[in-house]
Every structure is written in structure tokens, then in C-alpha cells.
Amino acid sequence: MNQPGGGTRVENPQGFTHTGPGNIYVNVGAQLQDSDKPAFRRVAEDQLRRLRRVLVAPVNMGKARATLAETGTVILDGTPGSGRTSAARVLLREYHQDGGVFHELLPGEKDELSLHDPALVEAGDQLLLDLSAADDRQWSAARADLPALRKAVHEQHAHLVIVMPHRGTLDPDLQYYRVEIHQPPGLNVLRRHLRMHGVPYEQYLQPDLTVDEFLRGTRPMREIADFADLVRRARETARPDEEFAQWCATAKKARNDRQKEVTALVAGLSEAPQRALLITVSMLHGAHADVIHHAAQLLLRTLDSPADGIPLLQHKDLAKRLEEISAETGPGGHVRFKELDYDSAVRAHFWNYMPDLRPHLGAWVASVVDLNDPHVVPAVRDGLVERVAVQYLRTGRGDGLASLAERWSSEAASRARLEAAVHALTCGLNDPAHDREFRERIYQWCAHRRLRGEFAQVLVQICADVLAASHPDQALLRLYYLARRERGTTRALQALCDLASSSRRLQRRLLDRLARSDLSPPDLGIFLRACDPVPLTDRSGTSRALVEENGVQRSLTTCWHAVLASLPRARWQPHAEHWLHRAADGTGHRGTALLDLLVSAADRCEERRGEVFAALYASARQAERTAPRGPTRSVETTELLLHRISVAQGLGPAPSPSPSPASASASASASAGETRP
């Protein structure tokens, strides 16, 4: 990872911004720590498992699976809409292992390693390189790096799936790995989706003219999935006497452009309360009537609409008002439009043709998610946030959505607003047209912006649970910036260390980043938390431990030297004791390597090295008293450390310590007190 370049980039400033030198410190609150919502990383895993269940294997999926199993690499080709990217993710999911991580490669993006860098691949990783939308220049550059990438994948027993541009050229030596997949029969795809939606098989196995008409010709897989979802929703709102044919007919009708209908409806609603209710139902479609009523009142207050002055008992009741906008309340009290998918047309109409409403909708959404109503459940809040996010993203206003999430996280933000901010940013990251923009924006926030209120903890959760699921290297860098700036909490630091510990590659990158930093106190604090000796000496599934790698040794020595030279002993001693305990745990030469690194770091302290050597020895003696497996092995480790110190000072092999702890201590003090240039 690289140090940020010169200058400061500020986008859509809200409140304070950082435009000069020096550190910026932020506080990460605890509002989201106790959230009962599932972690987005688990949600991402659930979505991938569901994708595997719902995917109808495209033609040649078996060949792609066999090629991947045999060579560790497969290059998927196929027409857009054939299911190439879904097939790629499913193929990699089948190789999910505890020792590796899923990683979507993003050549050319900030702080992403180049494809030819062997450090990009770790043992057992599952790598996706989706170049289906790449232009000729991007595809040519990637092709040049593929031999080196494949070599690293082979050496690390990893798996790589590449989605190439359709009709893109491929070098002759890579043709063996190319598999062209073809879309499976559309009817099979539709039926699989319907089955996953819980539609009874005796219904969807019936021949149907609407289905036949819809599937005539070739439909992209995404369109078939969307039609199946419309059938599901039509079934949920249908009368008891309606069956599959009626559900499909309703779904077909919902696919029609309703803009003229909605335009005519809005033109006939001249009163502000009517339009407020129409907007509310479209944004909270399916919510309970109580929520609709209160949210519509909130919208009027947000827009500063004057009260009508009519006595309460003379107001139209909600049933009559809903009838005026072609909506109704179901048996459970939930409000929906009478026509399927009418809500999306209403949302698009107001967003497109009343743009002055847009700034007010953000404040209104924040008020609604804060409503103290038992019917405002997480699904209602999430649905509301997603609907407003879709409008921002649909019209190319990712900056507006990002600013909205930032405002929701301002001072004294509630947990509901913070979760809404996380969900809004997640929508941006998951949108193929805006994901890169949001990743860059999150980088700017984490590295350069002064963060107001509780926005820092929103970014921690976004990086740890959303970005890390597919782009762990980018998440690592962003969490690093948050961790070195936070005060009064260690949530970003904990998330950073948890992410780094999930992969040897990530831990290597974090240590390298720290060693190349300015080694300020925040960096050293991160290092002390991240230098856990257990994963450093673990050889599970690999030929050598991290501590045996030359690059890692250099990073550890550099950081430990800065710690020993600039921090008080009380700060680093618990961590040094942990290293000494690990060295005494029977890890053999890997434990010895830990001692050598400590001694080498102390040896760099020049005029203070005698003092630092003495402090290390004293820490080893103290570690004997706290050793988890008793003092015997720790005493041997102390003797070995003393020997290494003596050798470093040019004093030759250390004499055998006497049985008396006092005499051993005196001998150590005499040895450690000697220094040489």
C-alpha cells in the first residue's frame, strides 16, 4: 500500500474539512457495536449461497468446472446475459476454504496490487477477475499480466476465474483455459427462480401463454429473474381464487411503462396532503397503515406545508384518501397500490419531474427511520433507504446519496440513522455503475476528510463488513486510516486487526504498510495490536510461516525498533511478553526467530541499545512468572534471549546462568550494560 499523494481532495464538503498538514483524530461511537442486524459479510455469504442454489448451470458449466479443477484457472466467455459472472462466482464458491479468501481483482484501482505481483495471491484464495465490460486497452493490459498471475495461482494452490470481454482476442497459449458458456433454456431458469420463491411446482409446471410469449426469443438471465420476482409479488397480492395464469398476466402488465398513468393521476391530485400520501405509499410500499399515516404527516411538516385548518373529525379517513390514489389496505393492515409495481413508477415520476423535492426527501427518510412505532421494523427501514438510493443511483447522483449518508450520521445520530447510512452506502457499493466511485469516495473520507458525529463508525462497518467481503485489500487500507485517527475507542483498530488476521497476504500487507509509514505513535499502537506472534508463527497449510519470510522479518524489525526506541517500556512490555511466551511454546526455530527479531530491533537503537537490551531481559524475567505453561520453558527462553543479546554485543556466548535468579540477573545486567558501536 502506498502513502497518500500530496494535496487534499474535498468533495461536497459538509461541515469541517481537512485542508492542511497534521493528523486528524476522530471518535468512533458505540451505537452500531450493539446492533442486532446481521453483519453484511454474512449477508454477502448468504447471497452467494442463494446464487448457487438458484443458478441453472449454463451450457458448458461442467467443462468450466473441470478446467478449473485441473488447472486452477478458467476463462469464461459468452454473450452478455448468459450468466457469465454468476457462473464465475458459483465456481469460486465451490472452492471456498478456511485457508483462503474470496477476492475480486481490480487492476488499475488505487492501492490494488498489479496482476503480475505474486503478493496478490495467497494459499487457497479464490480470485475473480471480471473483465466482461473491459475495453480493448484494459483487456490487452490484463492479458499481458495473465501468465504471471496464473503462475502465482498455481504455486499457491489457489483458483482463478476470469470473465473475458465477449469476442475479445485471446493469446494462443491461453486458449486451453477458455470455456464459452451458453445460456440455459429460459423456461428452466424461470422455473428455478419460481421454485426458490416458494411457488408450488404444480402451478409453474402448467403451460401458460404469457410465459411462452415472455420467453419467446432470448432473454438475459437478469430479465428472467426479474419476471419471476414479479410473479412472486403478484401471487402475494392476488385474490384467493387466482392461480398461476393470473399471476403471470399481472406480472406482464407490471412490465409495461406506467408513466402516462402516473402523470395523469398526479395531475388530478392538486392538494398537498394527497400528493404527500402518494409519495409516502410509493416509498413505504407494503408498510402498515399506521406507518403510512405518520410518515405522510412527517413529509408535510418536512415540506413546511401549512395546516388545512379543518377540524380533525371533518378530515377524510385514511381509507378514502388511499382510494383517491389507487391504493388500499390489505387484511393485515399493510398498504399497497392496487396495480403491481405501480410504486416504482410513482417514485420515478416525482424524482424526475419534481427535482426540488429531492433534498427534502433525505431529511424525511431520516425522520421516518426514527419513528417510534412497532411497525417500523428493520425491513421497512431498509426498504425505504433502498428506494431512495435507487433514485439517486438511477439518475447518476451517487454524490447526492453519499452526502445523504454523511448527514444521517451527524451529531447525536440514532442507531436507526446510522444503520440507514450503512445501508445507503452499501447500495452504492453494490451498484455496478457506481461501485468504483463509492470505493474512491470512502477512501477520501477515511484518509482525508474530517468526519463529523458518528460517521466514522459507519465507515468502520462499511469497510469491515461490506468492502472486505469482496475487496479486502481496499478495506484494509481504509481501516488503517481510520484506526490511526481514532481516539476514545479501538473499534476501527479491532476491525483492522480482525481483517488482517483473516489472511496471511493481508497481514503481510499491513506490516509492510506500517514499516513504510512515518512510525508515529498511532502507527506504533496499530503495530503492537497487529503483531500477534501466533499467526506469525503458524504454518498451517503453508510451507513456511510468515515470520520466516524475509520481507515480513524486515517489516517486523523496523516496527519493533521504532517501538523500543520511542515508546515507554510499560507500553510495549505486555506485547514483548506475548512474543516471549510464544517463543517458549515449542515452536522451534520459529520461536527463535521471534527472539532474533526483538534483539535485532534493539540492536538498532545505537547509543540506547544497552538500555533497551536490559529492558528486554527484564521483560523476559517477568514473562517467566506469567508463562501459561509454567516457568521451565520460559527460563530456557530467557537464557536463549540472553545468549542472542551477548552475541549482538560481540561478547561471545553468554555464560550459563547460576541457579540463583539474583546471580542470573546480575550477569544479565553486566552483559546488557556493555555496548559497542
Domains of the chain: which residue ranges? 57-180, 186-254, 259-308+316-376, 531-673
Q: Residue 188 and residue 366: Cα distance in Å, rounded? A: 42
Percent share of the chain, pLDDT over 90? 68
3-class secondary-structure state, position 338? coil
Which helix (H) or strand (E) segment holds residue 102: the answer is strand 102-104
**How much is the pLDDT for 582?**
93
The Cβ of residue 356 has, within 10 Å, a number of other Cβ atoms equal to: 7
Least confident range from 98-102, 164-168, 288-292, 297-301: namely 98-102
- Check: CB of residue 422 under 8 Å from CB of residue 462: yes
Q: Residue 274 and residue 265: Cα distance in Å, rounded? A: 11
**How much is the pLDDT for 220?**
92
pLDDT tens digits along 444-500: 999 998 898 899 999 999 999 999 988 999 999 999 999 999 988 899 999 999 999
Confidence class of residue 122 from pLDDT cuts 50, 70 and 90? confident
DSSP 72-97: SEEEEE--TTSSHHHHHHHHHHTT--
**How much is the pLDDT for 23?**
38
Task: Find the distance separating the first CA and the last CA of the chain, reported in whole Å.
Answer: 34
* Torsion angle in degrees (nearest 10) through CA of 546, 547, 550, 556: 110
Taking the model in full, what pTM does it have? Answer: 0.84
Closest CA to 600 of 641, 570, 544: 641
Instruction: Indicate the residue type of 321.
Output: R
pLDDT tens digits along 398-441: 999 999 999 999 867 899 999 999 999 999 999 999 999 999 99
Confidence class of residue 229 from pLDDT cuts 50, 70 and 90? very high
Runs of H (alpha helix) within 160-220 = 186-196, 201-204, 209-214
Confidence class of residue 656 from pLDDT cuts 50, 70 and 90? very low
Q: Residue 55 and residue 435: Cα distance in Å, rounded? A: 24
pLDDT at 675 over 60: no
**How much is the pLDDT for 331?**
84
Which helix (H) or strand (E) segment holds residue 178: the answer is strand 178-180
DSSP 244-273: HHHHHHHHHHHTS--HHHHHHHHHT--SHH
- CATH number of the structural domain 57-180: 3.40.50
pLDDT at 623 over 50: yes
Mean pLDDT of 119-132: 90
Mean pLDDT of 628-634: 81
Q: State the average pLDDT for the chain.
A: 86
**How much is the pLDDT for 325?**
95
- Check: CB of residue 28 under 8 Å from CB of residue 492: yes
Mean pLDDT of 252-281: 92
Handedness of CA 23, 466, 166, 89 (dihedral sign): positive
pLDDT tens digits along 6-28: 332 223 333 323 333 333 333 44
pLDDT at 70 over 70: yes
**Higher pLDDT pick, 675 / 553:** 553
pLDDT at 227 over 60: yes
